[in-house]
């Protein structure tokens, strides 16, 4: 929002992901806050880290009385991982998974349909995760 000092939706998440992506180790919320320039409340950073963890973007490990965070996947795979997580959550939230998947496949263009066929052929059913982990 111009003039309010507030970031646009998603801006803080992207900034935090960039900080953690550039780090060579997991970081505490305080370290992330320091890298962001200390212009935010500590609780804002903690809340955003927790949300990114719940979205599957970050891995979290206990470190004394706090947690340390790192990217859950390599930076170049992050967008695909987040999209896949959103798709899975949408499927889990629906009442008819088969109908949702059928509709999704019916709306694919020819190139995406072939890509999906190729991906399914290259991943045997036993290697795919079952549900949320």
Q: pLDDT, tens digit, for every residue of 10-53? A: 889 989 999 999 998 999 999 999 999 878 999 999 999 999 99
Identify whether residues 66 and 112 lie together within a single domain.
no
Higher-scoring residue by pLDDT: 67, 76: 67
CB 108 within 8 A of CB 116: yes
For residues 64 and 99, state if they share a domain. Answer: no
Alpha-carbon distance of 74 to 70, in angstroms, equals: 10
Shared-domain flag, residues 49 and 101: no
Domain membership of residue 112 (yes or no) is yes
For residue 121, the enclosing domain spans 94-127
In the three-class reduction of DSSP (H, G, I as helix; E, B as strand; rest coil), residue 88 is classed as helix
Total residues found in the chain within this entry: 133
For 115-129, the pLDDT digits (tens) are 988 888 898 776 555
Clarify whether residues 98 and 66 are in a common domain. no
- Domains identified in the chain, total number: 2
- Examine the domain organization and report whether 103 and 57 are in the same domain: no
Q: In degrees rounded to 5, what are phi and psi of residue 60? A: -130, 140
pLDDT tens digits, one per residue of 77-107? 888 888 888 888 888 888 998 998 899 889 9
pLDDT in the model for residue 65: 92
| pTM of the model as a whole | 0.67
Check whether residue 55 and residue 21 sit in a common domain.
yes
Same-domain status, 59 and 104: no
Q: How far apart are CA 67 and CA 60, in angstroms?
A: 6
């Amino acid at each position: 929002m111009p003039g309010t000092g507030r970031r646009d939706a998603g801006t803080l998440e992207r900034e935090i992901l960039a900080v953690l992506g550039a780090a060579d180790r997991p970081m505490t919320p305080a370290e992330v806050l320091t890298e962001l320039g200390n212009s935010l409340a500590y609780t804002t950073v903690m809340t955003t880290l927790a949300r990114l963890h719940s979205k599957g973007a970050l891995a979290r490990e206990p470190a004394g009385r706090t947690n340390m965070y790192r990217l859950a996947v390599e930076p170049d795979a992050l967008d695909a991982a987040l999209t896949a997580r959103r798709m899975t959550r949408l499927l889990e939230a629906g009442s008819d998974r088969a109908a949702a998947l059928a509709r999704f496949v019916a709306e694919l263009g020819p190139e995406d349909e072939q890509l999906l066929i190729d991906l399914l052929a290259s991943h045997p059913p036993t290697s795919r995760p079952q549900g949320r982990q």
